[in-house]
A and B are shown apart, each in its own frame.
Chain A
Amino acid sequence: MHVPDGFINAPTSAVTGVVAAGAIAVSLRGARRELDERTAPLAGLVAAFIFAVQMLNFPVAAGTSGHLLGGALAAILVGPYTGVLCVSVVLLMQGILFADGGLTALGVNITDMAIVTTVVAYALFRGLVKVLPRTRRSVTVASFVAALVSVPAAALAFTFLYWIGGTTDVSIGKVATAMIGVHLLIGIGEAVITALTVGAVIAVRPDLVYGARGLQQRLKLRVNGELVDAPGAPGPEPAPAPVAARSHRKVWITGLVASLVLAGFVSFYASASPDGLEKVAADKGIDEKAEEHANADSPLADYGVESITDARISGGLAGVIGVGVTVVAGSAVFWSVRRRRSDDTSPADTETNV
């Protein structure tokens, strides 16, 4: 999935670069708020963990094996902000050190594999945890679903980017079918491993699972061998008012349904109307030759003067709208997540365990 240089054209790479930079900036701020000065060592070690886990091959069948992408796992274990940071850093280092993934394609890779997987997985995970009963099994189930969806979601995002800025005009239908088909399979593996891993962590250190932060007990003082309630103990996390909890629940269910409907609609469109760009071209009466000429040009063809056609304009417009929608949707998710976070008091001080 690591996209090399030259696979996606320059303008799209630049736009995804900006999107990635923006998301990383938001995540830096978010992680900082959650983890305080613990951000660097903890995110660094979790990134090292993700890096190591990506080397953990799991056998699938008939001699083939897959490896974990880790976006969903990171999001559930350490939260969306830190998750985005960890996976992004892994991708950055893979690009610079191992030449795995092109430097100019860094934006594409980060948007696709760090942001889309993490945000989709976390939104879905939180939604399910809110809806399902408050048990550990629910957390495992939610992790399974979140990871299962996150991988094809990344494939879909890649298809979308390819549709906007691919340098070869393989029909979008074929790309979508191949990408999503393959990644559904990979998603099952990712989901099983993610759910089992989260389950294994939650069995030993439930406090480490970001998505399942739990209940607190009141402090006691031992006075002459007897336990009494500590006076004025500032509860590390004041229980949110039930009313607020209920309204949050409603918001979450609505959001979940909306995003599922949206996802369904998008994938339906992608499969039912595979050749969006070509269809537009045919409607406009541009013959195949002209269309091919426009596409056969270099990545900077968009800026070339000679071959601007209605198809290009509409294609570009679609791209701009698409990226715009992505940005708006992304910021909406970040905004809502941030709103939620700021309702909780910072647990950073009391988190440290030895």
Chain B
Amino acid sequence: MGAGHAHRLYRHGHSPVHGLPPHTKLAAVFAFVVVVVSTPREAMWAFGVYALLLAAVAYAARVPAAFLLKRLLIEVPFVAFAVLMPFVAEGERVDVLGLSLSVNGLWGAWNVLAKGTLGVAASVILAATTELRELLLGLQRLRLPPLLVQIASFMIRYGDVIADEMRRMRIARESRGFEARGVRHWGVLAKSAGALFIRSYERGERVHLAMVSRGYAGSMPVIDEVTADRAQWSYALALPCAALVVCLLGWTL
């Protein structure tokens, strides 16, 4: 149940970015990513400017570069995919260091890498400056269906609990000399997964009982609410607005 307070990606702080209401940050990040994705890939300088914009936000939020770069590793599988693109894509080819590469593939790889990386970086900064509970309040404020927000909040509250249970089951397996090495051991893993499902489901039922017993009838009572004033909105939206200008320039230049 400890997940209610902080998550591994969150960095506690009191920067101006931390202080912004969560829904303004969510809206800003989403708008920023949309703008980035809509930028023509030939306007390479635009992506450089986006990166600078994000760096400025990261600086304001006091998120260290090392932290940010480490989190970017999540992208690696798709980097591998992007690296393959120049080899497999169709169209005109050029020779680079003796390799025959597709021009279109190179552009495609650049496109995915640049946009993907910027998207990941924006999400990482958001997650690093916003507490989980705040994020959920923000999503609710942005009119995500309340039921969906509740499901997400329960998932987050009990995610660690269940992952812990899974870890304990693994430790129990390993202390009895079992180590999953190949296909033959899938059965054991599946039994653990089955047991985990039953435990999760039963805990869900117990939590539900406790909730309905206190008058829950399908909607979470509002105990804390987040609001944003005009100034906070304009701070938050400065990022996507700047990006939009860059994007428009990218289209016209």
Chain A: residues with CB nearer than 8 A to chain B? Answer: 4-7, 10, 13, 24-25, 28, 31-32, 36-49, 51-53, 55-56, 58-61, 68, 77, 85-86, 88-90, 92-93, 95-100, 102-104, 167-171, 174, 189, 192-193, 195-201, 203-205, 208, 278, 288-289, 292, 295-300, 352-354
Contacts and interface: CB of A to CB of B under 8 A. Distances in A.
Interface stretch (B58-66, B83-91, B227-235): B83-91
10 tightest CB-CB pairs across the interface, nearest first? A44-B154, A6-B115, A168-B108, A200-B194, A196-B190, A5-B119, A45-B204, A4-B116, A298-B40, A99-B123
A44 B150 contact: yes
B92 A7 contact: no
Given A44-B152, A45-B201, A170-B105, A99 B120 contact: yes
Q: Secondary structure at chain B's binding surface: helix, strand, loop or mixed?
A: helix
20 contacts: A4-B112, A7-B115, A45-B158, A48-B158, A52-B196, A68-B193, A86-B151, A86-B155, A92-B148, A93-B152, A93-B156, A99-B124, A99-B127, A104-B119, A168-B108, A169-B90, A169-B104, A198-B194, A199-B194, A289-B92
A26 B192 CA distance: 32
A4 B201 contact: no
B211 to A, nearest CB: 6
Contact of A168 (B105, B115, B119, B195): B105
Interface in B130-189: 132, 135, 145, 147-148, 150-159, 161-163, 165-166, 180-183, 185-187, 189
B179 to A, nearest CB: 9
A205 to B, nearest CB: 5
Given A4-B78, A103-B119, A89 B205 contact: no
A193 B119 contact: no
A97 B190 contact: no
Nearest to A202: B194
B109 interface: yes
A171 B132 CA distance: 42
Contacts of A98: 9, 74, 123, 127
Nearest to A205: B198
Nearest to B146: A40
Nearest to A92: B152
B28 to A, nearest CB: 11
B217 interface: yes
Given A5-B119, A97-B9, A45 B109 contact: no
Contacts of B14: none
Contacts of B152: 44, 47, 89, 92-93
B39 interface: yes
Contacts of B207: 41, 45
Nearest to B72: A99
A197 B92 CA distance: 49
Given A97-B7, A196-B187, A49 B123 contact: no
A168 B111 contact: yes
B111 A48 contact: no
Given A170-B105, A196-B190, A59 B205 contact: no
Q: Secondary structure at chain A's binding surface: helix, strand, loop or mixed?
A: helix
Contact of A58 (B30, B189, B205): B189
Nearest to A194: B190
Contacts of B198: 201, 204-205, 208
A167 B111 CA distance: 8
A39 B119 contact: no
B90 A45 contact: no
Contact of B158 (A44, A77, A200): A44
A288 B91 contact: yes
Nearest to B86: A168
A39 B151 contact: yes
Nearest to B155: A47
B119 A197 contact: no
B186 A7 contact: no
Given A44-B158, A45-B201, A205-B198, A170 B89 contact: yes
B127 A97 contact: yes
Contact of B208 (A41, A92, A93, A197): A41
A42 B208 contact: yes
A203 to B, nearest CB: 8
A352 B205 contact: yes
B88 A174 contact: yes
A167 B107 CA distance: 9
